[in-house]
Chain A
Amino acid sequence: MAEFVIFFIMAAVALGAAISMVLARNPVHAALLLVTVLVAIAVMFLLQDAQLLAAVQIIVYAGAIVILFLFVIMLLGVDKSESLHDPVRSQRPAAIVLGVVGLAELLFLVGHHWATGTSSGPGLNDGSGGNVERVARSLFTSYLWPFEVTAILLVVAVVGGVVLARRSGLPPQQELELERDDDDTEPDAMTESTSEVSAP
């Protein structure tokens, strides 16, 4: 009973915040609404006996990823309001129809008991230790190989981020020249000014 009430409140909050996020004109508002959704989902994780994930959800998602969004908004000064006017007129109705059809299809299937598989894995409450220990055991046995691969993936995400976001790998003098070119030329003429680095 209590669980049901909690679920109902959180679901209402999350859906309301999600819809407002999609419609928000200001990216900062959208980011704050996203945090609301994430916290509501963290509560749902708790209802589902996923204590570790609830904590990780708050720390990583709300704490790191959304902060990254806010930093980029701050850095670029793109927090101006955006008009919701759509330049591609046909796309919006098409998108909404597509979404509604997809949702209807999924909801149609919900009436049944979905999870029909018989699990072969370790249970939620098997063995000793808490939730953390059991998740860790699964992570370091069944999923050890992808876990190792994600290490490289994170390294390369950092490398890629730095490559794209830093000003340039050029020595300072040439860098200044390139930037001056950027300022002087219209975007259409850009291909000319950088032609020495751009075969087709």
Chain B
Amino acid sequence: MNPGWDFHAIAPEIIISATIIVVLIADFFFQYRRRFQTSQLATIGVLAAMVPVVTLAVNGGTRQMFGGAFVVDPYSLALTGFFLAAAYVTLLLSVDYIGDGDYYQGEFYVLLLTSLLGMMVMTSARDLITIFVALETISIPTFVLAGWRKHDPKSNEAAIKYYLIGVLSSAIMLYGMSLVFGLTGSTLLRDIALAAPRTPHTSLLIVAVFLTLVGFAFKVSAVPFHFWVPDTYEGAPTPVTAFLSVSSKAGGFVAMLSIVFFGFFAVPDTWQPALWVLAAASMVLGNLAALRQTNIVRMLAYSSIAQGGFILVPFAVAADGHAARSSFEAVVIYLLIYGAMNLGAFAVVIAFARRTRSAEISTYGGLGSYAPSFAVLMTVFLLSLAGLPPLAGWFAKFVMFRSVLDAGTPGATVLGVIAAVMSVVAFFYYLRVVREMWFHPVPDSVNPEPVQIPLALNAAIGICAAIVLIVGIYPQVFARIGELAAGG
């Protein structure tokens, strides 16, 4: 039995793997003060990996390997492209942050790229074991990254908390997978989809699927599996937090998409009720807790829990009515837009922290008077997160509500109402920061002298702002990607 390699299909993964090895080795040979060059190597690798993604997308079609465990189709390519772009922006955010810290350089990029590799493997994984290995490849480097500032007790605590909850959830997930294997006789999602409706033990299948989903609920920080999020986000270095809240979270959602839509779609009873509860709880608790925060990173942490709840809504209604297709599209589109606006918001937080060394919302007072361009961009990102037209966030909310309408069942309607009410609540905490920036005086502790913002950081903010504005005005760009991902 020859596994039959198709090197074009795995070219992006090969390029990233090669970059990991090159960065690791090159780090030995650079002079101590020239270590920043490793970041350039990493950036070149990420950009190079986009080339085969584009050529594969142009060639079109579906490529399969390893008996269907690895599939390259428009869905996986769209998300691989998203992960590469998000990693590129994260690299831009990290360059000066890590450089200023005077900590080891090369290893940071090795860990970041490995996590990226895990995400790329995840997008094309159609097999429970590949999904498990991909999830661990995403997680293990991020445990280390969260504890990057070894001399800071907060960073230590962020790492150990994140680690313990990560390994607990992966153990629970594996137990669920082992039961799925016993019930269906396979780990391939394709075979599971055929065998799952035929199993006589529906109750055991519910337990198995639920345990499997728990692992991903931790990863996407859905309530009630969210309690690591605020502390870890606050304690980890901010570029890492941006990476965790966008890429790592999206990795969990991609795994959920594959498992729910390709594995268990024919047996909605096993996952729909659980995901409904997760979606509702995340939206309510995330938004209400965000109202009380005084630290912007903690506020964005709760905001990302709430946004995760909005992304879970299409999952929870997917099997109702004729929502299957539109909910799949909604998840993909929401992920792409959420990535751009959340990375943008974190980029401004990092730039602002270069000036004040603070993340308290009160120190943002009067930002509009002495740094109007930053205040405008922050306003754009926050209002986009709130879902105000004509910024990209409204389109994300729109596709989410469209899937709810397509479903049309009472359960879906209730969830839609919760989502609508919570979208209004979200306005309050996003607008509080905006009000602070434009209508409050500059606090005494803040020195309004201009500081040098590095080029890379400006570029990152610019890229995110461009995406948020362009997609907000011409949503067809992402709508088309969503349609292609959902199958043509």
Tell whether A pairs with B.
yes
Q: Does B358 sit within 8 A of A, measured CB to CB?
A: yes
The interface residues of chain A lying within 8 Å CB-to-CB of B354 are 199
Q: Does B140 sit within 8 A of A, measured CB to CB?
A: yes
Stretch in A39-47, A86-94, A159-167 touching the partner:
A159-167
Query: For chain B residues 178-235, which have a beta carbon within 8 Å of chain A?
Result: 179, 181-186, 191, 195, 199-201, 203-204, 207, 234
Once the chains bind, are B195 and A117 in contact (CB under 8 Å)? yes
Ranked nearest first, the 7 interchain pairs of A and B with the lowest CB-CB distance are A117-B185, A200-B359, A169-B104, A160-B144, A199-B353, A197-B101, A146-B133
Once the chains bind, are A106 and B149 in contact (CB under 8 Å)? no
The interface residues of chain B lying within 8 Å CB-to-CB of A193 are 151
Least Cβ distance of A167 to chain B in Å?
9
Least Cβ distance of B302 to chain A in Å?
16
Once the chains bind, are A149 and B350 in contact (CB under 8 Å)? no
| Alpha-carbon distance between A74 and B183 when the two chains are bound, in angstroms | 44
Q: Does A198 sit within 8 A of B, measured CB to CB?
A: yes
Q: Does A4 sit within 8 A of B, measured CB to CB?
A: no
The interface residues of chain B lying within 8 Å CB-to-CB of A106 are 207
Q: 1/0 contact trace for A78-117 toward B, CB 8 Å?
A: 0000000000000000000000000001100100101111
The interface residues of chain B lying within 8 Å CB-to-CB of A169 are 103-104, 107
Instruction: Report the interface size for chain A: residues with CB under 8 A from the other chain.
Output: 51
Q: Does B293 sit within 8 A of A, measured CB to CB?
A: no
Least Cβ distance of B237 to chain A in Å?
8
Q: Does B297 sit within 8 A of A, measured CB to CB?
A: yes
The interface residues of chain B lying within 8 Å CB-to-CB of A190 are 151-153
Are A145 and B130 also in contact (CB < 8 A) when A114-B182, A156-B140 are? yes
Once the chains bind, are A117 and B153 in contact (CB under 8 Å)? no
Once the chains bind, are A150 and B133 in contact (CB under 8 Å)? yes
The interface residues of chain B lying within 8 Å CB-to-CB of A117 are 181-186, 195, 199
| Alpha-carbon distance between A121 and B172 when the two chains are bound, in angstroms | 25
The interface residues of chain B lying within 8 Å CB-to-CB of A118 are 185, 195
| Alpha-carbon distance between A152 and B295 when the two chains are bound, in angstroms | 37
Least Cβ distance of A127 to chain B in Å?
11
The interface residues of chain B lying within 8 Å CB-to-CB of A182 are 151
Are A149 and B137 also in contact (CB < 8 A) when A117-B186, A200-B238 are? yes
Instruction: Report the interface size for chain B: residues with CB under 8 A from the other chain.
Output: 72
Least Cβ distance of A53 to chain B in Å?
14
Once the chains bind, are B137 and A144 in contact (CB under 8 Å)? no
Once the chains bind, are B111 and A159 in contact (CB under 8 Å)? yes
Least Cβ distance of A87 to chain B in Å?
16
Q: Does A20 sit within 8 A of B, measured CB to CB?
A: no
Q: Does A119 sit within 8 A of B, measured CB to CB?
A: yes
| Alpha-carbon distance between A107 and B103 when the two chains are bound, in angstroms | 51
The interface residues of chain B lying within 8 Å CB-to-CB of A178 are 151
Q: Does A77 sit within 8 A of B, measured CB to CB?
A: no
What would 18 A/B residue contacts be, using CB atoms closer than 8 Å? A118-B195, A141-B67, A143-B69, A145-B70, A152-B114, A156-B137, A160-B107, A160-B140, A164-B144, A164-B147, A170-B103, A182-B151, A190-B152, A190-B153, A198-B152, A199-B97, A199-B350, A199-B357
The interface residues of chain B lying within 8 Å CB-to-CB of A109 are 201, 203-204, 207
Are A114 and B204 also in contact (CB < 8 A) when A120-B191, A159-B107 are? yes
A157 touches which of B32, B140, B195 (Cβ 8 Å): B140
Once the chains bind, are A153 and B140 in contact (CB under 8 Å)? yes
Name which of A137, A142, A168, A196 has the most chain B CB atoms within 10 A of its CB.
A142
Once the chains bind, are A160 and B185 in contact (CB under 8 Å)? no
| Alpha-carbon distance between A160 and B144 when the two chains are bound, in angstroms | 6
Least Cβ distance of A107 to chain B in Å?
12
Least Cβ distance of A70 to chain B in Å?
19
**Besides A116-B182, A144-B66, 6 new A-B residue pairs in contact (Cβ under 8 A), listed by A number:** A112-B201, A112-B204, A114-B183, A149-B118, A159-B111, A199-B350
The interface residues of chain A lying within 8 Å CB-to-CB of B132 are 146
Least Cβ distance of A4 to chain B in Å?
22
Least Cβ distance of A65 to chain B in Å?
13
Least Cβ distance of A134 to chain B in Å?
13
Once the chains bind, are A197 and B185 in contact (CB under 8 Å)? no
Q: Does B17 sit within 8 A of A, measured CB to CB?
A: yes
Once the chains bind, are A197 and B149 in contact (CB under 8 Å)? yes
Q: Does B8 sit within 8 A of A, measured CB to CB?
A: no
Shortest Cβ distance from A109 into B: residue: B204
| Alpha-carbon distance between A157 and B101 when the two chains are bound, in angstroms | 23
The interface residues of chain B lying within 8 Å CB-to-CB of A171 are 32
The interface residues of chain A lying within 8 Å CB-to-CB of B350 are 199
Q: Does A26 sit within 8 A of B, measured CB to CB?
A: no
Once the chains bind, are A197 and B3 in contact (CB under 8 Å)? no
Least Cβ distance of A111 to chain B in Å?
11
| Alpha-carbon distance between A159 and B251 when the two chains are bound, in angstroms | 22
Query: For chain B residues 155-188, which have a beta carbon within 8 Å of chain A?
Result: 155, 159, 179, 181-186
Are A160 and B143 also in contact (CB < 8 A) when A141-B3, A191-B152 are? yes
Least Cβ distance of B369 to chain A in Å?
22
Are A121 and B110 also in contact (CB < 8 A) when A109-B201, A191-B154, A194-B149 are? no
The interface residues of chain A lying within 8 Å CB-to-CB of B121 are 145, 149
Least Cβ distance of A112 to chain B in Å?
6
